[in-house]
Amino acid sequence: MVQPHDQKTASNPNTGEPVCLQLLLFVDDRPSSQENIEQIQAHLALLNCEYSYELQVIEIHQQPHLVEYFRLVATPALVKIAPEPRQTLAGSNIVEQLNKWWPRWQCAIKEANEEQTANGGGDKQNHWQSPLNNVGYSGELIRLSDEVFRLKKEKEELVEQIKFKDQVLAMLAHDLRSPLTAASIAIETLELANNQPDRVRSAQLKEQLYQQARKQFRIMNRLITDILQASKSMSAELQLQYSHLYLQSLCLEVLEQMADQFQEKHLKIEKDIPQDLPNVYGDEELIRQVIVNLLDNAIKYTPEQGTITVSILHRTTQKVQVSVCDTGPGIPQEKQERIFEGHFRLKRDEGKEGYGLGLSLCRKIIRAHYGQIWVDSTVNQGSCFHFTLPVYR
């Protein structure tokens, strides 16, 4: 709130009235603020000079934009806004500073009045407002500008969130395709098993197929839960279910499930997966999702009859590294870090399925496991995606 304390009417050079000293006093909401106001007002009255002054008191918690506009760093603060130049007195000794500067301000007013007289009162056609009267107008402009900026930021965030949700849903539909297909095949095979005359073999096959179907439905349920949870916010945290995990078995299982996709493009699959690897500490379904995403990208970008290599390396006593390499077009050096950002798509992705979310989600999952994920790539020679996981202790 602005509280005016007028000693004389604000001057107007068009009418020839003398120039007025114009002051703003900024205070906070501490109990001592009222004492500061009264002290400064009383001291100004004691100065009792021949030149008029006008004072407005501004409470900073009600108009913080004015604090920023005048670049104040402490309160109370007394700001002289007219005659120019602007000057700020701040701190606990404003009264002492007033005694020092008052004679100089009087000289400035005298010079301003003399200049006004020499100019014949100024151009009467130009409308003039005192700087003090303009403070409220300027403050309102600042407040409105801040509000417009805030609304623009909120709009950008909402648009980004909507785009992110659309991409998550597209990713979810894509990732559900493989387990849904596997579960459907298992159920169809169960129907065929019912017609087998060998009851023993039929019972064994049914049990295997039931287990396979149940497992695939668990995967789908987990995918839906985790990705929809992540879609609530771009910074949402994944809920991990840690266990000791056999990476070699998981990789071989995923490769077997994706065999039809490899065959469609006549791709050669090379595996370097040692059987004596230590277990890692991780969430099986989320790590499965990372492997599937990396293999899916490799299939997408590897040309017909190309080669995809899957390898696992026990790097240190603390880390195991998984690598998925392709013989695709490669990724330019300057783009290799950005491909892990949400929504980032390379020029080569134009016209292809997907929304650029997969690698971003992979990085989120691996970082949640305290691992690292990165790419080594050479243009026209292919790419190798690597990630590490902690060894189970």
Phi, psi angles (nearest 5°) of residue 317: -70, -15
**Does residue 377 contact residue 330 with C-beta atoms inside 8 Å?**
yes
Q: Contact 227/201 with Cβ under 8 angstroms?
A: no
Q: Which residues of the chain have a pLDDT value below 50?
A: 1-15, 122-128, 232-235, 344-356
The pLDDT score that the predictor gives to residue 187 is: 79
Domains and CATH numbers, the chain: 2-128 (3.40.30.10), 143-236 (1.10.287), 240-393 (3.30.565.10)
Q: To 10 degrees, what angle do helices 32-47 and 94-118 make? A: 50
d(CA 272, CA 99): 85
Q: Spell out where 298-338 has E strands.
A: 307-313, 319-325
pTM, to two decimals: 0.46
Place of tokens 């020499």: 118
Give pLDDT, residue 354: 38
CA gap 29, 33 in Å, rounded: 6
| CA–CA separation, 255 and 267 (whole Å) | 12
Residue reference for tokens 């970082």: 367
Is 20 in contact with 8 (CB distance < 8 Å)?
yes
CA dihedral sign of residues 9, 15, 20, 23: positive
Q: Give bridge partners of residue 376 from the DSSP assignment.
A: 384
Q: Is the peptide bond before 76 cis (omega within 30 degrees of 0)?
A: yes
Buried b (16+ CB within 10 A) or exposed e, 102-139: beebeebbeebbeebeeeeeeeeeeeeebbbeebeeeb
